[in-house]
Amino acid sequence: MIDWTRVEELQDEIGPDCFDEVVNLFLAEAGDVVARLRDNRDPSRLAVDLHFLKGGVLNLGFVAVSNLCAEGESLASTGQGDRFDITALVATYEQSRLAFLTEYESRLAVQTSAG
């Protein structure tokens, strides 16, 4: 569900000191977009929101969410956004978020005890 190689690459790129801040910012922004998609689906913004979310989630290794966003973005760009399953996207995002946070906290604990 999470591409940890990508997460580690991102952490190396921005440095471990800034990584927590980036994770928190990403999760806040992604959460806002997911909530907007879930609660106020705006067909005129669907492709833009999904494109934004796709890039952000891929940076943190949320591969399944990114794939769903790409599918929805494709549908929205051809006027078929109403066929996109927002419920599946929201559920997959929440599952990925939980998996990420659980594993990330576990990895932090290991790094802290090793350091």
43-102 residue pLDDT tens: 899 999 999 999 999 989 999 999 999 999 999 999 999 999 999 999 999 999 999 999
Greatest Cα pair distance, the chain, in angstroms, is 53
- Indicate the number of domains in the chain: 1
Question: Could you list the residue range(s) of the whole structural domain that residue 108 is in?
Answer: 4-114
Note the Cα 106 to chain centre separation in Å: 19
- pLDDT digit string, tens, across residues 1-52: 899 999 999 999 998 889 999 999 999 999 999 999 999 888 899 999 999 9
For residues 112 and 62, which has the higher predicted lDDT (pLDDT)?
A: 62
DSSP track, 69-104:
HHHHHHHHHTT-GGGS-HHHHHHHHHHHHHHHHHHH
Distance CA(29)–CA(24), nearest Å, equals 9
Amino acid, res. 25? L
